[in-house]
Amino acid sequence: MSSQSSPFHIPIDLSHTALLLSDIQTDILARFSQETQASYLAQILSLLDLFRAEIARRQEEPSQTSSYQDTPLIIHHVLPFGYNSNAFISPYNKLSSWVQSLERKGFFTIPAAARDPRTPNYPIPASLLPPTSDRDSDSAGFGKGPNEILLPKFQTSSFGSSDLLGYLRARGVRHVVLCGLTTMGAILGGARQGADLDYHIVIPRQAVMDDEEDVNSFLLERVLPKFVDVVDVDDVKKLF
């Protein structure tokens, strides 16, 4: 594909690429209609399926010397609301009052066990969980390998997490396909900070959404393309 026709400003090497799912969780999705949720999750699952298949294919190659060398990475980055009784929410951060207002409206619920840091609550939609024979188990498919991982998220921007950056460095990740909720929150914050850290950020339009469609459109059309690649989901699929 020539540089003139490519939607990406630099070529993408899947060996050094991560699929980052930021704040894709049931308590945020609940703000949208059931139809919107189903359509959105179908787009995310289509990307997950491709990344999982590529990981499996590369693991079968005889040249592999480790379980993750030259292999894409999938990261579920989720807010474990209630963790340590929400001690991570700062009163100096204006977003904290917004989160608290959502809690009052019933969008965030805190199971008793979630307040214990030993038993955090990660409300990932069931359809996005890693394949496993026991989807009701505590691990829910995580911990079965180093190529699809779950990380707690305590800041709006995923790249504000030292844990995330440590995994990206360890895997030699240079390209990040950023998907998530919402466009003006996790996506705008993560895209801007990730670009400042010299990661090649790719945002599939259909893999992000916002409560306000005009805000979503403005950010995707006028703001984000100035420093990241905003593309269609199909453009990402063509990489495989």
**pLDDT tens string 95-144:** 766 666 767 777 777 777 777 778 888 999 999 999 874 555 445 678 77
- What pLDDT is recorded for position 83? 83
- What pLDDT is recorded for position 82? 80
Chain center to CA of 81: 16
Which residues, 6 or more positions from 76, have their beta carbon under 8 angstroms from its beta carbon? 21, 24, 122, 124, 128, 142, 148, 149, 150, 151
Low-confidence ranges of the chain (pLDDT < 70): 1-4, 63-68, 96-100, 102, 133-140
- What pLDDT is recorded for position 114? 74
- What pLDDT is recorded for position 133? 42
**Which residues on neighbouring strands pair with residue 229, listed in sequence order?**
202
- What pLDDT is recorded for position 63? 66
* Euclidean distance between CA atoms 132 and 144, whole angstroms: 9
Domains, the chain, with CATH or none: 14-80+122-237 (3.40.50.850)
The pair of three-digit structure tokens given for residue 102, joined into one six-digit string: 């959502």
- Whether the CB-CB separation of 206 and 45 falls below 8 Å is answered with no
- What pLDDT is recorded for position 106? 72
Asked whether the whole model's pTM tops 0.95, one would answer: no
Q: Is the dihedral of CA 205, 52, 21, 13 positive or negative?
A: negative
